[in-house]
């Protein structure tokens, strides 16, 4: 399971005193813990057992993806503010987090899936973009950047 891999990597980074990696893994563990608490709360509201909330691999991948998205947004802001030191640090954190995602698709693979989704949905203009995205997103979830996919769909429909 993915959570055990994260825990094991955390222990190794701690023992080997890899400070940057350890910091990133602490951040990830905190994000996972927050997601577990949120899930626990939701289960309690639904009348389920609120004591047990375990995240599955898909949920962990979603959390990792969300953290990477936050870091990419931060990089854009850091570069805009001429803070290349912070942008570099955020890029290092992304490289650590990418280990916990499935193998990432390159732009060519995403373009092919975009074309297929547009054909399948019958989307003809940017107004129909949501139809194509609804078909595309399950296919790329965790494997490609949703922002890139959205941009490619928009370009293809313009």
Give the model confidence (pLDDT) of 122-136 as tens digits.
888 888 889 999 999
Cβ atoms of 139 and 117 within 8 Å: the answer is yes
Domain parsing of the chain, residue ranges: 2-100, 107-157
Nearest to 74 by CA among 58, 97, 47: 97
pLDDT of residue 105: 87
pLDDT of residue 145: 80
- What number does CATH give the domain 2-100? 1.10.1510.10
Q: How many CB atoms lie under 10 A from the CB of residue 48?
A: 13
If you count DSSP H runs as helices and E runs as strands, how many of each does the chain have, helices first?
7, 0
Is domain 107-157 classified as CATH 2.40.50.100? no
What does the DSSP 8-state code read for residue 48? S
pLDDT of residue 88: 93
Biggest alpha carbon–alpha carbon distance for the chain: 56
| DSSP reduced 3-state for 106 | coil
pTM for the whole structure: 0.76
- Is residue 90's pLDDT more than 80? yes
**In this predicted model, what pLDDT tens digit does every residue of 36-86 receive, in sequence order?**
989 888 877 776 666 677 888 889 998 998 999 999 999 999 999 999 999
- Is residue 118's pLDDT more than 80? yes
- Is residue 13's pLDDT more than 90? yes
| DSSP reduced 3-state for 42 | helix
Cβ atoms of 93 and 27 within 8 Å: the answer is yes
pLDDT of residue 30: 96
- Across 6-18, average pLDDT: 95
């Amino acid at each position: 399971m993915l959570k055990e891999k994260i825990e094991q990597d955390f222990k190794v980074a701690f023992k080997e005193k890899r400070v940057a990696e350890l910091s990133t893994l602490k951040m990830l563990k905190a994000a996972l813990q927050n997601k577990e608490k949120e899930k626990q709360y939701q289960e309690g509201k639904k009348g389920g057992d609120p004591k047990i909330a375990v995240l599955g691999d898909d949920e962990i991948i979603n959390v990792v993806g969300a953290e990477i998205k936050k870091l990419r947004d931060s990089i854009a802001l850091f570069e805009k503010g001429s803070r290349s030191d912070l942008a570099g640090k955020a890029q290092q954190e992304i490289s650590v987090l990418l280990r916990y995602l499935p193998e990432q698709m390159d732009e060519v693979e995403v373009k092919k899936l975009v074309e297929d989704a547009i054909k399948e949905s019958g989307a003809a203009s940017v107004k129909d973009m949501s139809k194509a995205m609804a078909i595309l997103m399950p296919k790329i979830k965790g494997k490609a950047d949703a922002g890139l996919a959205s941009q490619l769909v928009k370009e293809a429909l313009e």
